[in-house]
C-alpha cells in the first residue's frame, strides 16, 4: 500500500480542494441507497481504515501541503465562497438528479446565472476590470456544472466581450449594464454551416443602404446559416453577427465593395421573446453534452439595423458609405478583430484545467480506495498500487499540474495584453496567445469521467478544430524563424549551423548518453531537450517547405508536410507548458 498512501498524501491539496466542491458532494448524494449512503459509498474505504492510518503516519508528504495549496491557488477564498453558494442551492446541481430534458437543464443554468449575480459576482464587470478573477470564477463554475461555465462564457465573454472589445465607448455605455445583469441575453454569431474554422470565408453579408442609413443583414444561402450559436435557441435577444461588410463603390461603379468580415449588433427577439421580422431560429437539439446551453441556428432575411450597429473599433463607415480604418490592410483588421476575442479561449483553458483537476482527483481517490486481488491470505491490494494503474494515472496528475501553470501563464499574458490596449499591440499578441491556448490539446488523451467527459468533449473543437489552431502556431514559428534566418535555402542552413555552433541554438542534449537520474531530472536538461526538439523540427520543416513549395504551390506543400507541422506545434506547446511554472512565482517547499 506504500505507493498509494504516498500518492494520497502528495495529492492532498487537490483532494481537499475537490472534496469540498459541490461536484464531489453531488456524487455522494447520488448514492442509490439514501438511508445507507455513508456505509455504501464509503464501504471500500472503511474496511481498510486501520491499516491505512498506520501507514499514512509513516508516509507524510515531504512538503507542507498548506504552502503547496497557497502556491497553486492564491484566490482560494473565492472558490470556497462560490462553492458554498451552490451548497446552499443543491437544487441547482444538475447531477443531483440526471435525465433532465434540455429545457429543464437550460432553466436550471439560467437560475444559476442569476444566483451568481445576486451573490454579488458580476462576471462582465470582472472581465472588464479584473480578468484574473473572471477566469478564476470560470474555473470554479466548471466544477459545478460545465454548462454553467460555458453559458456564462457565451453571455459575458463572447457576447459581452465582443461588444466591449470590438465596439466603441458608445456601444459600451449602451449595452454594458444590460448584458452584465443578464437583462439582455445575447449571442456570438460567427460560425456558419459551411464555414467553421475558415472564418475569413463567412458568407453572411451586411450591405449598407445609404438611403435609409441602415445595414441590411442577409443570409445568402443555406451554407451561410449561423450554426451552433449559443444562447440563440431560447434566450438571445440580440447577437454580435459576423458578416461581410459591403458598401457602394466610392468610384461610382455598380458593384458593391466587400471589405471582409466585420461584427454587427443585430436584435433577434423583442422583450417578450418573440422573433423579430426576418429572423428565423431553430433549436440545434440534443448534444453529446452541455445540454444546459440553448444552441440554435439563425437565418437572416434582409434584416435592417442602424448604421451605428457596426462594432467600429477597428473600422467605421460614414453616412455616405465611406469606409475608414486605423489598420492598413484587410488581413490586419481581421487579425486584430480575432485577437480581441482571445478572452474566450483563455476562459476555455481555465474551464478545461478545472475539469481535468476534478477528473484526476476523482480517479486517483477511487484507485486509492478500491481494492481488488492480492497475495494469498492477505487483504486485497488498492488498485492504485498496481503498476498498470500508476502508468495510466500518474501522467494525468503531472499533466494537471503542468497545465495549471500553463493556464496561469496564459492568464497573465492576457492581462498584459489588456493593460496595453492598443490596436497594433493587440494584433501582434493575437496569434501568440492563440498558439499557447493549444495547451488544451493535451486533454484529448485524458481519460475523463462520464458527464465531465461528454460536457468537455466539445472543448476539443470549440474555437475551431485544434488541427487548425496548431497550424497557426507552426505558421507563427516559421515566420519568426524566417525573420531570423532569411536568405536562400543554403544561406539559411549555413546560418542555422553557425548559430548551433555558437550556442545560439540549442544542441541535441541527448547525444551525451548520460542516463544518470540526476541528469535526466535536471530541469535545465529537460528544458534544453524540449527546446532542441522544437528547433530541430522547425529547421527541418522549413527545409521541406522550401523544397516542395516551388513545385506544388504553398497550399499543397503545406498539406504535404501537415503531420510535421502539427508535430512541431505540439512540441512547441509542450515546451511552453514546461516553462509555465517559474513565471508564476517561486515555491518554498519545506
When the beta carbons of 386 and 401 are compared against its own copies, the nearer one is 386
When the beta carbons of 29 and 525 are compared against its own copies, the nearer one is 29
**Rounded Cα–Cα distance for residues 422 and 313 (Å):** 11
When the beta carbons of 174 and 453 are compared against its own copies, the nearer one is 453
- 406 touches 577 (CB < 8 A): yes
How near is the Cβ of 117 to its own copies at its closest, in Å? 28
How near is the Cβ of 62 to its own copies at its closest, in Å? 24
The residue ranges that bind its own copies (CB under 8 A) are 30, 32-33, 36, 39-40, 43-44, 47, 98-99, 101-102, 193-198, 201, 222-223, 225, 282-288, 291, 297, 371-376, 380-381, 385-389, 391, 450-451, 453-454, 467-468, 553-556, 559-563, 566
How near is the Cβ of 468 to its own copies at its closest, in Å? 8
> Does residue 480 sit in helix, strand or coil?
helix
- 187 touches 235 (CB < 8 A): no
Phi then psi dihedrals of residue 198, to 5 deg: -85, 70
- 346 touches 433 (CB < 8 A): yes
How near is the Cβ of 66 to its own copies at its closest, in Å? 34
When the beta carbons of 51 and 562 are compared against its own copies, the nearer one is 562
When the beta carbons of 499 and 552 are compared against its own copies, the nearer one is 552
- 186 touches 237 (CB < 8 A): yes
When the beta carbons of 36 and 274 are compared against its own copies, the nearer one is 36
Which residue among 5, 192, 463, 531 is the active-site one?
463
Q: Is 389 annotated as a binding residue?
A: no
How near is the Cβ of 54 to its own copies at its closest, in Å? 20
Q: For the purposes of burial, counting CB atoms within 10 Å of the CB of 481, is it exposed (0-12), middle (13-18) or buried (19 or more)?
A: middle
How near is the Cβ of 243 to its own copies at its closest, in Å? 19
The residues, any chain, with a CB within 8 Å of residue 464's CB and separated by 6 or more, are 196, 197, 199
**Rounded Cα–Cα distance for residues 533 and 40 (Å):** 50
Q: DSSP per residue over 493-532, as a string? A: HHHHHHHHHHTSS---TTTT----HHHHT-HHHHHHHHHH
CA–CA distances in Å: residue 230 to residues 136, 152, 578: 22, 10, 34
What end-to-end distance do the CA atoms of the chain give, in Å?
25
How near is the Cβ of 325 to its own copies at its closest, in Å? 23
How near is the Cβ of 553 to its own copies at its closest, in Å? 6
CB atoms within 10 A of CB 220: 11
**Rounded Cα–Cα distance for residues 208 and 199 (Å):** 21
**Rounded Cα–Cα distance for residues 360 and 467 (Å):** 25
When the beta carbons of 56 and 467 are compared against its own copies, the nearer one is 467
Q: Among this protein's residues, is 422 annotated catalytic? A: no
Q: Helix 387-419 to helix 342-369 angle, to the nearest 10 degrees?
A: 160
When the beta carbons of 70 and 559 are compared against its own copies, the nearer one is 559
Q: Is 191 annotated as a binding residue?
A: yes
- 520 touches 533 (CB < 8 A): no
Phi then psi dihedrals of residue 240, to 5 deg: -85, 110
| C-alpha cell recorded at residue 133 | 478573477
Across 16-41, b (16+ Cβ under 10 Å) vs e yields ebbebbbbbbbbebeeeeeeeeeeeb
DSSP state letter for 445: G
Across 133-162, b (16+ Cβ under 10 Å) vs e yields bbbbbbbbbbbbbbbbbbbbbbbbbbbbbb
Catalytic residue numbers, as ranges: 463
Binding-site residue positions for FAD: 191, 230
Binding site as annotated, residues? 191, 230
Amino acid at each position: 500500500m506504500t505507493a498509494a498512501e504516498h500518492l494520497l498524501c502528495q495529492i492532498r491539496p487537490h483532494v481537499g480542494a475537490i472534496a469540498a466542491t459541490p461536484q464531489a458532494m453531488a456524487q455522494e448524494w447520488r448514492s442509490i441507497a439514501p438511508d445507507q449512503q455513508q456505509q455504501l459509498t464509503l464501504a471500500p474505504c472503511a474496511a481498510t481504515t486501520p491499516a491505512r492510518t498506520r501507514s499514512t503516519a509513516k508516509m507524510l508528504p515531504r512538503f507542507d501541503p498548506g504552502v503547496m495549496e497557497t502556491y497553486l491557488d492564491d484566490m482560494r477564498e473565492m472558490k470556497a465562497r462560490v462553492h458554498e453558494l451552490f451548497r446552499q442551492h443543491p437544487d441547482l446541481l444538475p447531477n443531483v438528479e440526471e435525465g433532465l430534458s434540455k429545457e429543464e437543464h437550460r432553466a436550471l443554468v439560467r437560475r444559476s446565472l442569476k444566483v451568481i449575480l445576486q451573490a454579488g459576482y458580476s462576471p462582465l464587470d470582472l472581465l472588464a476590470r479584473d480578468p484574473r478573477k473572471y477566469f478564476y470564477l470560470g474555473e470554479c463554475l466548471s466544477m459545478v456544472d460545465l454548462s454553467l461555465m460555458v453559458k456564462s462564457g457565451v453571455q459575458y465573454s463572447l457576447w459581452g466581450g465582443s461588444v466591449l472589445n470590438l465596439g466603441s465607448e458608445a456601444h459600451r455605455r449602451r449595452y454594458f449594464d444590460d448584458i452584465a445583469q443578464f437583462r439582455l441575453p445575447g449571442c456570438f454569431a460567427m460560425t456558419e454551416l459551411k464555414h467553421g474554422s475558415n472564418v475569413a470565408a463567412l458568407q453572411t453579408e451586411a450591405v449598407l443602404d445609404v438611403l435609409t442609413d441602415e445595414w441590411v443583414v442577409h443570409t445568402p444561402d443555406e451554407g451561410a446559416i449561423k450554426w451552433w450559436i449559443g444562447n440563440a435557441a431560447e434566450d438571445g435577444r440580440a447577437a454580435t453577427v459576423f458578416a461581410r461588410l459591403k458598401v457602394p463603390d466610392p468610384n461610382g461603379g455598380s458593384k458593391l465593395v466587400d471589405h471582409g468580415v466585420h461584427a454587427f449588433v443585430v436584435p433577434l427577439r423583442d422583450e417578450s421573446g418573440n422573433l423579430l421580422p426576418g429572423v428565423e431560429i431553430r433549436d440545434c437539439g440534443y448534444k453529446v453534452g452541455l445540454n444546459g446551453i440553448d444552441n440554435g441556428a439563425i437565418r437572416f432575411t434582409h434584416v435592417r439595423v442602424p448604421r451605428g450597429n457596426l462594432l467600429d473599433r477597428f473600422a467605421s463607415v460614414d453616412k455616405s458609405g465611406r469606409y475608414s480604418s486605423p489598420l492598413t490592410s484587410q488581413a490586419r483588421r481581421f487579425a486584430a478583430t480575432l485577437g480581441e476575442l482571445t478572452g474566450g479561449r483563455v476562459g476555455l483553458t481555465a474551464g478545461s484545467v478545472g475539469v481535468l483537476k476534478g477528473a484526476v482527483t476523482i480517479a486517483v481517490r477511487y484507485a486509492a480506495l478500491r481494492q481488488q486481488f492480492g497475495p494469498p491470505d492477505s487483504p486485497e491490494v488498492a488498485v492504485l498500487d498496481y503498476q498498470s494503474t500508476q502508468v495510466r494515472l500518474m501522467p494525468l496528475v503531472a499533466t494537471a499540474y503542468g497545465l495549471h501553470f500553463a493556464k496561469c501563464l496564459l492568464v497573465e499574458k492576457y492581462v498584459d495584453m489588456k493593460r496595453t490596449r492598443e490596436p497594433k499591440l493587440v494584433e501582434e499578441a493575437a496569434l501568440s496567445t492563440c498558439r499557447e491556448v493549444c495547451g488544451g490539446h493535451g486533454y484529448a488523451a485524458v481519460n475523463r469521467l462520464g458527464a465531465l467527459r461528454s460536457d468537455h468533449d466539445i472543448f476539443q473543437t470549440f474555437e475551431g478544430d485544434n488541427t487548425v489552431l496548431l497550424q497557426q502556431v507552426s505558421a507563427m514559428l516559421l515566420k519568426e524563424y524566417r525573420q531570423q534566418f532569411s536568405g536562400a535555402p543554403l544561406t539559411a542552413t549555413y546560418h542555422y549551423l553557425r548559430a548551433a555552433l555558437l550556442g545560439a541554438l540549442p544542441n541535441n542534449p541527448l547525444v551525451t548518453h548520460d542516463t544518470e537520474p540526476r541528469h535526466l531530472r535536471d530541469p535545465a536538461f529537460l528544458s534544453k531537450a524540449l527546446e532542441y526538439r522544437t528547433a530541430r523540427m522547425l529547421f527541418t520543416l522549413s527545409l521541406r517547405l522550401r523544397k516542395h513549395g516551388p513545385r506544388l504551390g504553398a497550399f499543397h506543400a503545406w498539406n504535404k508536410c501537415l503531420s510535421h507541422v502539427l508535430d512541431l506545434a505540439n512540441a512547441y506547446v509542450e515546451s511552453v507548458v514546461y516553462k509555465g511554472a517559474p513565471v508564476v512565482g517561486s515555491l518554498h517547499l519545506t
